[in-house]
Structure 1
Amino acid sequence: MTSDTEIPTPDRPVPPQWTPKVISFLKSPAVKFVLIGFVTLMLMIPTTFVWVLVEERADRAREVARDIAASWGGAQEINGPYLAVPFTETYTVGTGEKARTQIDRHLAVFFPERLDVAGDIAVEERQKSIYSLPVYRGELVLSGRFAAPDETAFGAEHGGSLDIHANKAVLVMGIGDVRALKSEVTLGFGNGQSSKFEPGSDVLTVSPSSFSRGAVRPSGINASVPPLKWRKGFQFNIALQLNGSTSLFVAPAGQTTKVTLRSDWPHPGFTGSFLPEQRTISETGFDATWTIPYLARGIPKVWSEDHLPLQDRMMGVQFVEPVNFYQTISRSLKYAIGFISLIFLAVFVLELQSGWRVHWIQYGLVGLALIIFYVMLLAFAEHVGYSRAYLIAASAATTLNAFYIGTSLKSRVAGLVMFAVLAGIFAVLFALMREQDYALLIGSVIAFVALAITMFATQKIDWTGMSPGAARSDGMSA
């Protein structure tokens, strides 16, 4: 016996209580529209799993990048040089029998009067397994001059006697990854004299920069400066040959600092506290120049702390990969519900304007093919790059769905229309993902236009199925 809640099917008779109007409503466009919406929402579940897969692969790529950087060299930070001169103050504390001698240790850190940094950066991609990372070989020359120190920098805070340890004066320079230095570093004084740098930042501690997370264990190097040199002021010249990856940052250590960097990498990302005042970017590389005056630097000429200054005021360049496809695919998945809805909406409008009838289960199968598109895009992008992977995955999804709809409806025209619709929407999605800055604007305009077309294309549709003749036996499948 058929219950009151049973739905009529070809092999099950229609219950007497089911009126023609009820049957027409169940087969109406409104019910079909609701079912398609439900299918769209259900497809968000596998979409979420695909997004988790993308993030997992991105984490794996970052882990491999860290391994490459650990072997080659991490993000580099050049901070300095600074002239550090230790001194002590001896004074008496208390009176009478309780009087005692107190010795305080101090440090005076002097900035170069002028600092010029010139660097040539040769970038290449190092690969491990299926992952790669931009790495570089850098040749930098730091030159400039230290003025004769102002004696007032050695101040007696408690009115005691000062003892300047002139023989312990050192030139200190912070480097993000000292292990990546490829040659000995020498401090040249400009008259044929020189002093070799030693490992460590000596009297100054180096803290990680807020700009470069790759420099997880920054350190430094130091070189002794004879008293006759630093007391009268001196010229200096330092040549650095070092490896690095991802980015290169330089601190404006001079009272006036000029930095000139050139590289063969055509995708620079300039960042930091200061942007270059002049830059030229082409397919063969870039040239950039920074000029930072004393006032813009924002700190005094003499530093009295025991840690390296200007770690939070660096400037530099990141060697950006042209397409970070993990980020692009993850971002495209955020538009998945709109992407799938747009395809379903286009098919639904075509269905209403023609004699084709697509079952809601077929909508679900088409949607699953679109989800597989994202998986194929991720898998192929790791091997052949994002653009080729998108072409392969989009072509596969378009051909499969068009062939499926065409054979299901036994209509070559339906298959060709489906192919054209999918090809157009995939092309729009590709352009949308390439325009990172305008993606939201373009996406909102496309959504508005799609809704407007749907509203006017379905203006004369009887959504309820209650109009005369709507209850015909060959009505729309739900």
Structure 2
Amino acid sequence: MTDVSDTDATTGSAGNRPPPFRPRAFLNSPGVKFVLIGILTVMLMVPSLFVWILVEERADRAREVARDIAGSWGGTQEINGPYLVVPFSETVTIGTGDRGRTEVHWHTAVLFPEKLDVSGDLQVEERWKSIYSLPVYSGAVQLSGRFGAPPSNMFEPQKGGTVDIAADKALLVVGIGDVRALKNEVSLTLDGNAPIPFEPGPGPMVVSSGQFKAAPASASSGINAAVPPLKWRKGFAFQVPLDLNGSTAVYVAPAGQSTSVNLSSNWPHPGFTGAFLPDERTIADTGFEANWSIPYLARGIPKTLITNQLPLQSKLLGVKFVEPVNFYQTISRSLKYAIGFISLTFLAVFVLEMRSGWRFHWIQYALVGLALIIFYVMLLALAEHVGYGLAYLGAASAATVLNAAYVGTSLKSRSAGAVMFAVLATIFALLFALMREQDYALLIGSVIAFLALAVTMFVTQKIDWTGQDDTETAKSAAAA
């Protein structure tokens, strides 16, 4: 005879036993899959790093081609001067009697113009080599103004000796960034008299590397013209017309005690830079015009100097001929948002998977992520041929259609595919906006991340992250 109480005890003990561990069910649980998706997202940063290296490699190639074009046409021009340079010697006696000796030291006195007017009209065009281009310009720059008579203290002894002025060796010196790009013989006109030809080189002056030069200036980065003693001792008006080529940018030094600069061009994308910004500027689709006015005190340098260095190399003003979109820089910046970009896409797929009832394997997640990585490669390749705007539209459209179709067919749901299409289109539009609004990129990105998290929290509120509901349902079905 069976003891009823023993049977009930056995049955009760079996009923309270925890369900057996099922590895397959555990791996398919939403919580574990969510963690695996996160790990997969981090792993996809490796191919995105290789894409970033590819972008930098292509950007270096573009810069190399730009240097080749600039080497043939003309580089960045820095116009510094003119300055009146007068060498003088100082004789110093050291010691007394039989042990005394005499030393001669040479110095260079530099006089700034009382007034300097710089005007230039530069015509810009794009020169191409292979698939790369560089903005280059040609035009006329006019330097005009007046030098006053040198002040009495211009030739003060530096070591307490006797000064002897080399009056016949006075030079008017103009520093030029790339003298190879001069298109005509340059002459100096003094008080409207017969022109005096310039000679190559900055005379006794040393031209240091300019603030905007990529490489040290050569010894010939300048020109000089002799000024007769009768002229420079009394002061004179001058004119120096320059006809030159250049690329990327042009800079001017405020060499006058009072300097005014007027630059105009047909390039509609100027980037004003340097120690001084223009007082007035007009920018239109047909070009720009800008005016600078730098008074004596703002320049911060006295009227004369004793130096062999060309002054004001660190206080240039000017304009860059900016390309509308530097797509290498833009794509490189967009790769910094790749982890958020991929995370939002995976999040959308995960939510659709949880609501559809069909499973989306982690390998399929990886394929969706790789399609997003390929988007950056397509964007880079197309941008080099058709420009950034059309390239982004083409690459984004291809990635959106591919992933939306793949998700929709994998989840056996047209509505899931349509939702995925809308999500990806929104993500690509937001990424495009982030790249255009660099100053507000962090603000926009943080708002997007917050909204995405908020939507995910409420959409997944009813999901059983442990997967126990599915197990219980399966057991009930088997028992029935």
TM-score by length of 1: 0.92
Structural mapping, 1:20-39, within 5 Å: 24-39=25-40
Distance 2:256 2:357 in 1: 77
Instruction: Tell whether the 8 Å contact from 1:89 to 1:105 is kept in structure 2 after alignment.
Output: yes
The share of aligned pairs that are identical, in percent, is 69
Instruction: Tell whether the 8 Å contact from 1:21 to 1:471 is kept in structure 2 after alignment.
Output: no
Is the alpha carbon distance of 1:404 and 1:156 closer, same or farther for their aligned partners in structure 2, counting shifts above 3 Å? Answer: same
User: Does 1:65 pair with 2:51?
Assistant: no
Distance 1:241 1:85 in 2: 27
How far does residue 130 in structure 1 lie from its aligned partner after superposition? 0.7
Structural mapping, 1:245-256, within 5 Å: 245-256=247-258
The Cα RMSD (Å) is 2.0
How far does residue 186 in structure 1 lie from its aligned partner after superposition? 0.9
Distance 2:474 2:28 in 1: 10
Is the alpha carbon distance of 1:390 and 1:157 closer, same or farther for their aligned partners in structure 2, counting shifts above 3 Å? Answer: closer
Is the alpha carbon distance of 1:352 and 1:86 closer, same or farther for their aligned partners in structure 2, counting shifts above 3 Å? Answer: same
Is the alpha carbon distance of 1:267 and 1:214 closer, same or farther for their aligned partners in structure 2, counting shifts above 3 Å? Answer: farther
Is the alpha carbon distance of 1:258 and 1:470 closer, same or farther for their aligned partners in structure 2, counting shifts above 3 Å? Answer: farther
Q: Report the AA paired with residue 304 of structure 1.
A: I
User: Does 1:127 pair with 2:149?
Assistant: no
> Which SS does the other structure have where 1:231 is aligned?
helix
Q: Which runs of 5+ in 1 are unaligned?
A: 1-16
Q: Report the AA paired with residue 62 of structure 2.
A: A
Instruction: Tell whether the 8 Å contact from 1:332 to 1:433 is kept in structure 2 after alignment.
Output: yes
Q: Report the AA paired with residue 138 of structure 1.
A: G
User: For residue 9 of structure 1, what is the aligned residue in structure 2?
Assistant: none
Distance 2:475 2:310 in 1: 84
User: For residue 6 of structure 2, what is the aligned residue in structure 1?
Assistant: none
User: For residue 348 of structure 2, what is the aligned residue in structure 1?
Assistant: 346
User: For residue 143 of structure 2, what is the aligned residue in structure 1?
Assistant: 142
Instruction: Tell whether the 8 Å contact from 1:74 to 1:214 is kept in structure 2 after alignment.
Output: no
User: For residue 244 of structure 2, what is the aligned residue in structure 1?
Assistant: 242
How far does residue 466 in structure 1 lie from its aligned partner after superposition? 2.6
User: For residue 305 of structure 1, what is the aligned residue in structure 2?
Assistant: 307
User: Does 1:404 pair with 2:409?
Assistant: no
Q: Report the AA paired with residue 353 of structure 2.
A: E
> Which SS does the other structure have where 2:427 is aligned?
helix
User: For residue 204 of structure 1, what is the aligned residue in structure 2?
Assistant: 205
Give 1:374's match in structure 2, choosing from 352, 373, 376. 376
Distance 1:229 1:22 in 2: 99
How far does residue 470 in structure 1 lie from its aligned partner after superposition? 5.1
Distance 1:356 1:219 in 2: 72
Structural mapping, 1:70-469, within 5 Å: 70-213=71-214, 216-217=217-218, 219-467=221-469
Q: Report the AA paired with residue 164 of structure 2.
A: D
How far does residue 472 in structure 1 lie from its aligned partner after superposition? 3.0
> Which SS does the other structure have where 2:474 is aligned?
coil
> Which SS does the other structure have where 1:464 is aligned?
coil
Instruction: Tell whether the 8 Å contact from 1:265 to 1:286 is kept in structure 2 after alignment.
Output: yes
Distance 1:72 1:122 in 2: 14
Distance 1:385 1:335 in 2: 21
> Which SS does the other structure have where 1:316 is aligned?
strand
TM-score by length of 2: 0.92
Q: Deviations over 1:18-71 (max 9, x none)?
A: 727765443221011011111111111111111111111111111111101000
Instruction: Tell whether the 8 Å contact from 2:356 to 2:411 is kept in structure 1 after alignment.
Output: no
Instruction: Tell whether the 8 Å contact from 1:207 to 1:308 is kept in structure 2 after alignment.
Output: yes
How far does residue 439 in structure 1 lie from its aligned partner after superposition? 1.2
Q: Report the AA paired with residue 252 of structure 2.
A: V
Is the alpha carbon distance of 1:215 and 1:178 closer, same or farther for their aligned partners in structure 2, counting shifts above 3 Å? Answer: farther
How far does residue 212 in structure 1 lie from its aligned partner after superposition? 3.3
Is the alpha carbon distance of 1:350 and 1:152 closer, same or farther for their aligned partners in structure 2, counting shifts above 3 Å? Answer: same
How far does residue 420 in structure 1 lie from its aligned partner after superposition? 1.6
Distance 1:258 1:308 in 2: 20
Distance 2:457 2:361 in 1: 22
Moved more, 86-95 or 354-363: 354-363
Instruction: Tell whether the 8 Å contact from 1:84 to 1:108 is kept in structure 2 after alignment.
Output: yes
Distance 1:158 1:24 in 2: 93
Query: What is the count of residue pairs matched by the alignment?
Result: 460
How far does residue 410 in structure 1 lie from its aligned partner after superposition? 3.0
How far does residue 261 in structure 1 lie from its aligned partner after superposition? 0.7
> Which SS does the other structure have where 1:266 is aligned?
coil
Distance 2:75 2:306 in 1: 30
